[in-house]
Amino acid sequence: MKNRVLLLILLGFLLVVELAGYQFKIDWANPQLVDTDCYMRLVRVEQLYMDGDWYDHAIHRSNWPQGEILHWSRLLDIILLAGAYIGCPFVGFKASLFWWGMIVSPILHVACMAGLLWAARSVFELDTTFRLGLIFLGQAGIWGYCYIGRSDHHSLLLLLFILLLGCCFRMFDDRYDCIKYSRYAGTIAAIAMWVSVESVSAIVMILGVLSVLWVWKVELSRSKAEGFTLALLLSSVIYFFVENPPVQVFAVVYDKLSIVHIVIFLVISLFWVHTRFVKYNSRFARAGAGIILLCILGAVLGCCFPGFFKGPFAGIDSRIVPIWLSQVQEVQPLWEWSQKGFAKMLLLIGPVTICLPYAIYIAINRRKSFPKEWLWFMAGMAVYVPLALYQLRWAAYAEVVLLFPTAFILQNCLKRIESLNKECWRSIVRVVVTIVFCVGYGSVALLVQPTEQDANTVTITKATKFLNELQVLEAGPKTIITDIDFGPEILYRTPHRVIATPYHRNGDGIILVHQVMSAQEDSEAYKLIKQRDADLILLSPAMKTKFQGNTFCGRLLSGQYPNWLKPIDLPDYLQGEILLYEVVRNDNN
């Protein structure tokens, strides 16, 4: 009873920190969401609320006049829409949606904690589960994705991943119905795939573990794999048809759940179903059958869906990679041979330095009594630590995986401390060791982190107020060419249209804006602007670092503008913040 109360206190403490602790970092007079994805998500939900067209994924005011079709799915839209409806009678839909978007990730963070405690109950005793919760509170990568003002799907993906791990632990626990939990795992994995195809990494991890155990002739592993894949297939089909209209059933896309993934899950499911009827009695035969499956799957993908091997960005316009994608922070490698890179690795995946050696130790010295849960710990480290080193976006998953072996090692350390003679020394050492495990890596990372002056974050929030008050609005919404990172907030806060947003499906818009801003001749820029009938050009002084030299953007920022542009007078609160030009229609230009 006492430990359950402690766990509830832990959840309550996290909730208080989430909802109240950040108040010192929020400008309540001018509240802002964290990044472009958050604003674009709310634009998408507002559009769904206004027109009610479930299958319309296009943002019509983006990439004007063609529109932009995002690769996101509807599950988070449903959550945001439901939360907005609750506050709608009190403050109106737009305000309710904004504030629900502000707190949805912190609430999902609390749900992640609850899910983690549930997952750990099949692995640890209550004392260790409580310590696991304490270690969870010190994970910087998870906090980053669950920050207040972050209305995107990353916190939801983390919650689903934690629940998936909990089901995996129970699949190997004799106290639970392992087949039932394999089906639960398949259903949760399908939901995660619906949210984002990056969840395929978790599916690969699970199937990898079950396949190795089946080859090794471990009891029930075949039945678990069959239950998992069938649930994954059937659930994915349901979510696929929920998300897409019938006319798009055979559309081949790689950046969201599509017919490509349905075919993959079908082939894998058929393999595991056939193993019910075709008996493979030797490990060699089972390994051979697995290799044949991989060859068949590879052949199917190579013939029908060759872009699958290029990943979710298979259809990306290669021209936007150097000018945009290569500069996106979350796709940068965590591995960086520098003091700053070392500090970042220590902060995000530091526990691997003790978890990996301990896993090797257990594998060598406890072969006959190998703890079943360590199969998942080791598989998780094998998948997500390299992915985190490859791209920063995977670090939060690696943190979740490393939580469990870290808590396991802490548990063993505390048991060793019990051998100390004096009670007072035992208590002190236990507290110190627990604190070190909870925040030790983060503290060392902060100490070795090189001192850097924080750059002022450039926002467009104040400018949108002026854009909504422009006299030119009397003629209706305008089409704006601006920094691609400003696009989503302009769409959210104003009725105006933009050309480009920072998303890989909007390659045409990104390229056009880059060509305009980097144009060497004013006439060249005008031809491009005329292609989209742009009305306004909005610039920030910070854009000069992107477009250096004798570029169109550089000249405008220096006050040199052609006769087909007219500077718009700005109020005092925007002086030095932005420059705004109106395009004057002139066929002689």
User: What region does 90 belong to: left with phi over 0, alpha with psi -120 to 50, or beta?
Assistant: alpha
461-583 CATH: 3.40.50.12610
pLDDT, residue 432, reads 85
The answer to whether the bond into 65 is cis (omega within 30° of 0) is yes
264: tokens are 């993959």
pLDDT, residue 9, reads 64
Spatial separation of the C-alpha atoms in residues 329 and 327, rounded to whole Å: 6
- Say if residues 463 and 494 touch (Cβ distance below 8 Å): no
Beta strands in 65-176 (DSSP E): 68-69
Spatial separation of the C-alpha atoms in residues 219 and 365, rounded to whole Å: 23
Share of the chain above pLDDT 90, in %: 62
Q: Give me the residue label for tokens 């089909």.
A: 237
Structure confidence by residue, pLDDT tens digits, 335-378: 888 888 888 888 899 999 999 999 998 888 876 677 888 999 99
SS3 state at 28: coil
Q: What sign for the dihedral angle of Cα 92, 95, 101, 106?
A: negative
- Say if residues 413 and 366 touch (Cβ distance below 8 Å): no
- Say if residues 374 and 405 touch (Cβ distance below 8 Å): yes
Asked if the model's pLDDT at residue 455 lies above 50, the reply is no
62 Cα distance to chain centroid: 22
pLDDT, residue 7, reads 60
pLDDT, residue 130, reads 85
Residue 169 confidence class, pLDDT cut points 50, 70, 90: very high
pLDDT, residue 338, reads 81
Asked if the model's pLDDT at residue 10 lies above 70, the reply is no
* Chain region(s) in the chain for CATH 3.40.50.12610: 461-583
322: tokens are 């150097």
Mean pLDDT for the chain overall: 88
Contacts of 539 (CB under 8 A, 6+ apart): 482, 483, 553, 556, 557, 578, 579, 580, 581
Contacts of 197 (CB under 8 A, 6+ apart): 254, 255, 256, 257, 261, 312
SS3 state at 418: coil
pTM for this prediction:
0.94
Spatial separation of the C-alpha atoms in residues 267 and 166, rounded to whole Å: 26
Structure confidence by residue, pLDDT tens digits, 254-307: 999 999 999 999 999 999 999 999 989 899 999 999 999 999 999 999 999 999
Residue 24 confidence class, pLDDT cut points 50, 70, 90: very low
